[in-house]
Amino acid sequence: MEIDLSPQLAKKVYEGNGGSYYAWSPSELPMLREGNIAAAKLALQKNGFALPYYSDSSKVAYVLQGSGVAGIVLPESEEKVIAIKKGDALALPFGVVTWWYNKEDTELVVLFLGDTSKAHKTGEFTDFFLTGANGIFTGFTTEFVGRAWDLEEKDVKTLVGNQSGKGIVKLEGNINLPQPKEEHRKGMALNCEEAPLDVDIKNGGRVVVLNTKNLPLVGEVGLGADLVRLDGKAMCSPGFSCDSAYQVTYIVRGSGRAQVVGVDGRRVLETTVKAGNLFIVPRFFVVSKIADPDGLEWFSIITTPNPVFTHLAGSIGAWKALSPTVLQAAFNVDAKLEQLFRSKRNADAIFFPPPN
């Protein structure tokens, strides 16, 4: 049975008075289940607080909009309190407890992309909240909580029963959460909009790649990631992941056209992608995109910490490495057409500016 690769928008899963949580469903985007991948978004309004929780999946978080604070507790480690803003990427391994807070007027939106190969449900995140109406404490009897934390029953009931919200709440009153520390940010977050560019082509596009060198925790997460910004009407070279990885792409801004070619040279997807869309490219399938006039920006995870891509066109394209006679035989063309084919795109790599 053929799998539908059509891009999809996220659906709201739950909300509180401080914000909402959205996710993509494997029933609507089957490649999530096929690739053992999950995707979700957290949107916090002013004073919105996402209660502390951990997940059954390792993830990469990417801040799509706004600014705020993230609290991160690695296993058997101190709490890291980090100031986050648009463009920040964070690697969140298994067992990490996190909380998120927005004190600004602008909505804080965080994208989560992760691996569900060890999750309870393939293609979905399952989150375990430490507090709140659906928190871990609510499942234990007062005796167990009292014994574990050496508390009297009345104090246990107050501790467990006072937070009536589920997942996301709005903080009222004079609660002062811990202030971010600059030293906590080192090794925990990388701003993809400010980081050194891995690729920069005039009128073409720019790329920042997250890997074990600039964000070491991606090694523990087992995922690589990149932020790609394609200029108006520019093209991204047809290419594929040559290390058996899936590519999960979220369209951050703009719009454009995408084509994916799979087995037996069949075009399996031809579509327009726009901000908010998520789509997944199967292993070894070839994908290419052309931006609309306003440009196209996307954030992707690749299911390996140090991804390797083969591009088929451009100055570093695989065709350039093949011998002229091999190309002639492969295309069944004469030397003149082969030479014309080889002479093109000698100065452009990966991104191609729009035609004059």
C-alpha–C-alpha distance, residues 225 and 290, integer Å:
20
For residue 77, pLDDT over 50 is answered with: yes
> What does each C-alpha distance from 134 to 148, 163, 165, 287 come to in angstroms?
19, 10, 8, 42
Per-residue pLDDT, averaged over 9-14, amounts to: 96
Q: Which residues of 314-347 are buried (b: 16+ CB within 10 A; e: fewer)?
A: bebbebeeeeeeebbeeeeeeeeebeeeeeebee
Q: Report the amino acid identity of residue 43.
A: A
For residue 356, pLDDT over 70 is answered with: yes
For residue 125, pLDDT over 60 is answered with: yes
**Does the predicted model carry a pTM greater than 0.75?**
yes
Above pLDDT 90, what percent of the chain? 70
* Predicted pLDDT at 233: 97
* Predicted pLDDT at 166: 92
Q: Are 312 and 239 in contact (CB under 8 A)?
A: yes
* Predicted pLDDT at 244: 66
For residue 191, pLDDT over 50 is answered with: yes
For residue 136, pLDDT over 70 is answered with: yes
* Predicted pLDDT at 288: 94
Phi, psi of 321 (to 5 degrees): -85, -15
* Predicted pLDDT at 1: 45
Tens-place pLDDT, residues 215-264: 988 888 988 899 999 999 999 998 887 666 788 999 999 999 999 999 99
Per-residue pLDDT, averaged over 192-207, amounts to: 93
Tens-place pLDDT, residues 306-322: 666 677 676 666 767 78
* Predicted pLDDT at 241: 78
C-alpha–C-alpha distance, residues 248 and 94, integer Å:
20
For residue 286, pLDDT over 50 is answered with: yes
Give the start-end residues of each E strand in 262-316: 267-274, 278-281, 286-302, 309-311
| Lowest mean pLDDT segment, chosen from 16-25, 175-184, 333-342 | 333-342
Return the bridge partners of 67, or none: 85
Task: Enter the tokens of residue 303.
Answer: 């299911």
More confident call, 14 vs 356 = 14
* Predicted pLDDT at 151: 94
